[in-house]
Structure 1
Amino acid sequence: MVKTFKLYSLSLLEGKEGEVNQRLIPIEDGLIINMENQSQTWFIEAVIDHEYYDYFKKVKENSGHILVDVIITSKDNHPAAMITKVQTISKLSKGISVLLEAKLALKRDVIIEDVLKDLVNEGYSDEQLLTQFHNKMENLAAHPQSALNTIYRTIKENGQYNLQ
């Protein structure tokens, strides 16, 4: 069974000098499809401004991969980091439509663990730790920077993907 959701936001996660920078791509419209197959494939279709055409065209020509952060349905949902490959780019009368094939790159348990590690490293303990943890999880609009850096480095080092 296939599940389809509205794409709320799309950010490129780009590695520069050992850090990951998020670049929000404003979307006009979009959807994300969970194929619910054994290979855990997702498809992301986003209608975006024409200014991104050359970027996505270059990635496709290089058979490259892009690490992205997506939020589905509502701004209140937690982001999902996905490793993607450009399937098609279609020019529209206003903007372009980009179809990305994707796989989850970061599971929710890893995010929770990273939030907790960050709080412990910041010196929180006991009740303060619990309070801060609940606050961070409720307001998690993006992955912790440490999680993004780790996933980007891991993907880059394992050699399975050609990160652009």
Structure 2
Amino acid sequence: MKTFKLYSLSLLEGKDGNVHQKLVPIEDGLIINMENQDKLWYIEAVVSGDYFSYFNSVKENQGHVLVDVVITSKGNHPAAMITNVHTITKLSNESISVLLEAKLALKKDDIIEDVLKELVQEGYSQEELLREFKNKMDNLATHPESALGTIYRSVQASGLYNLK
């Protein structure tokens, strides 16, 4: 089992045929790689109590939420995960602690491939392509827009998850 600091949490929501990222400001959080055969992760985020109704609705409807998380520091690459709400705890300071059970929806190699495809589609070639690829990978704070849409549609099409 490995534990990491949760740096950021974004909800990935499908609207009008596109995927929109909604950053959820976190007060504190951690993410645990259980390193088990089910490849489970747990994400605990302390967020504003304003998110209680959203997460409670997901939990009551046994829904799933596609999220993008960054661990440890801003410089790390994001990880897209499919989650379900395990527990919600109201805290004394009008915040809530949300515990999400998660599985990776996209691996780092997939991100690299998507960034490269996007650059090739934009018409970059040779030295220009290498320079732009390195720049994008160094500054990757979120998945490319095309990757988010692909992730969302594949998770939705699998029929395994009830996306909120």
Name the counterpart of 1:139.
139
**2:132 is matched by which residue type in structure 1?**
Q
SS of 2:59's equivalent?
helix
Name the counterpart of 1:51.
50
Map 1:1-164; keep pairs closer than 5 Å.
Answer: 2-94=1-93, 95-164=95-164
Q: RMSD of the TM alignment (CA)? A: 0.5
SS of 2:134's equivalent?
helix
Separation in 1, partners of 2:79, 2:140: 11
**1:156 is matched by which residue type in structure 2?**
Q
Deviations 1:115-144, CA, capped at 9 Å, x for gaps: 000000000011111111000000001000
Offset of residue 158 of structure 1: 1.0
- Structure 2 stretches of 5 or more lacking a match? none
Give 4+ residue runs of structure 1 displaced > 3 Å after superposition: none
The two structures have a TM-score, normalised by structure 2, of 0.99
Offset of residue 7 of structure 1: 0.4
SS of 2:10's equivalent?
strand
Separation in 2, partners of 1:129, 1:54: 45
**1:104 is matched by which residue type in structure 2?**
L
- Structure 1 stretches of 5 or more lacking a match? none
Separation in 1, partners of 2:54, 2:24: 12
Q: How many residues align?
A: 163
